[in-house]
Amino acid sequence: MSDRHPTAVVRSKIDRKRRLSLIWAIPIVTALIGAWLAWSTLSQRGPLITITFQTAEGLQANQSHVRHKDVDMGIVQNVGLTADRKRVQVTIQMNREAEPLLTDRAQFWVVRPRVFAGSISGLQTLFSGSYIDLLPAAEGGEAKRAFAGLENPPVLQSDVPGRTFLLEASRIGSISLGSPIMFRDLEVGEVLGWDVGEMARSIVVHAFVREPFDKYVHDNSRFWNASGAKVHLGTNGLELQLESLRAVVLGGIAFETPDDPKVAEESQADHAFTLYQSRDAADSSNFKRSVLFVANFTGSVSGLAVGSAVTVRGLKIGEVSSVSLVYDRATDNVVVPVHFTLEPERIALLNLPTNGDLDTRMAELVRRGLRVKLESANILTGQKQLAIDLYRDAGAGQLSKDGDAYVVPVLGGSADDPATAATNLVNRLNDIPFESIGRNLDQTLAGVNALVNDRQLSQSLAELHATLAGAQALVTNLNRGLAPITQRMPAIAAGLENSIKRTDKLIGSLESGYGGDSRFSRDVGHLMSQLSDAARSIRVLTDLLTRHPEALIRGRTDQGTP
């Protein structure tokens, strides 16, 4: 059996060499991944910077980020106070790609919901939280790691093409950061700010005009303050002028470029212009020559102010520059010197001489009747203006000078003005004691009211009404009672007439029997005469009662009538 079934011999060999177990591959791979992540993080990490703000509103460490054009540029690591404890210092770990942007011209600000420069921004942070926005310089600049943050976002992004111009003004009024700049009713730019270094003399406003509108700014362009709205009451009714609703709220600046082929080149950046207070002042700047005048008024000049118009035949040729009070020792009176400037170029074909020749020409005009008169510019508002013209019937006058200003005689007084006359009329109406008249009228009406509502008077009127009603009823009853009698009167009169006829026959018979000269005959004749008168009277009474039955009560009322 052993031959058929051989026995297998198993031999073991012990390998004494050590081998690494596969289980160690897991921590090795983990370590490699960690090292790669660490290297990747360190390779992408940029510089560490600090930014100071007034407050840390909305910023949180390890949560708030720094962004540029919605691209993550870093994360806030720490929020604390500065050494003097007056500001907040924010430490930020920036990315490596942000390093070229960190120059001394870079700007940082906290993006949060706010209303600034006429617009609402940062509403998205209501859900995502506040973050820090980065605005790098367009070009150039030195590397920097410590910055002072802006409390408000910049009005203009540095990558917007255009040019900035300098506008010099005595005051800026309601112009603010972000105020629009208008050109032909279009918003073409914004106000970036102003310089305060020379504020004692003037203010320089930085006005940015975007492309392609900046090419319309030439050296002869005129800028003016277009803030608010202008209300004008003229011959066409009430007119409201405004550049835009945004300019009403934030203030604004408008400009215009005259069509002058001699000045066709565009103005360079930072070119200086004058900022006028109104469009009228800007239009007046076209006139290069002005002549100074002064008029001394002895009456009231109420309603006349600086800027009031000086007109010729109703058209403006100048404006009032100052109004003051001066005591005149010669006349022992207070006068009102009104200084004004005229721009002769507003009158076409008028060529006034210069230097001494102008004095001679002005003296001649005053001799011919050149006078200044105060007149009403608006009756409703009481505004006044000056009118200068040649009045032929003013008589000869004499010209004098007050420094460089020509003293022009004044024609008439303030009482000659229709508005002043209307004011005087109103003042006279005010002198009428309407209050006393009203009180007397109230007392009279109260007495009448008491008399009308008096109980005794009411009773008397009621009794009178009852008496009249009774009298009316009595007359009615009399009319009804006399009606049958009136109807029988004709029959009675007819019977009397028949009796008279029969009596005549009887008398005839008696006369034939007794004779016409007997006493009986005479008595009978006298009786017949009385009977005739009685019949006639009854007939007249019948006719009277037929027409006026009330005569039985009142008597005859037709005395003197035929």
For 249-289, what is each residue's pLDDT tens digit? 667 889 999 887 777 788 998 899 999 888 888 887 777 78
For 392-403, what is each residue's pLDDT tens digit? 887 778 888 888
- CA-CA distance, 413 to 393, in Å (whole number)? 16
Q: Cβ neighbours of residue 296 under 8 Å, at least 6 residues apart?
A: 335, 336, 337, 338, 407, 410
Q: Is residue 228 pLDDT above 50, yes or no?
A: yes
pTM above 0.85, yes or no: no
Q: Is residue 31 pLDDT above 60, yes or no?
A: yes
Residue 308 phi/psi, 5-degree rounding, is: -65, 150
Per-residue pLDDT, 510? 55
Cβ pair 340, 312 in contact under 8 A: no
What are the CB-based long-range contacts (under 8 Å, 24+) for 466-472? Answer: none
Cβ pair 534, 495 in contact under 8 A: no
Residue 505 phi/psi, 5-degree rounding, is: -65, -40
Confidence label for 50 from pLDDT (cuts 50, 70 and 90): very high
Q: Which residue has the higher pLDDT, 412 or 130?
A: 130
∠ CA(363), CA(368), CA(373), 5° rounding?
90
Helices (H), 222-381: 245-250, 279-284, 356-367
- CA-CA distance, 80 to 60, in Å (whole number)? 10
For 272-391, strand residue ranges (E) read 272-276, 291-297, 309-312, 315-323, 326-328, 333-342, 370-378, 383-390
Name the residue with tokens 């000049």: 301
Cβ pair 373, 323 in contact under 8 A: no
Cβ pair 399, 363 in contact under 8 A: yes
Q: Cβ neighbours of residue 319 under 8 Å, at least 6 residues apart?
A: 284, 307, 308, 309, 310, 340, 341
- CA-CA distance, 380 to 234, in Å (whole number)? 11
Cα distances (angstroms) measured from residue 198 to each of 173, 203, 207, 270, 273: 17, 7, 17, 16, 16
- CA-CA distance, 21 to 19, in Å (whole number)? 6
Q: Which of 140-144, 173-177, 221-225, 506-510 has the lowest mean pLDDT?
A: 506-510
Q: Is residue 1 pLDDT above 50, yes or no?
A: no
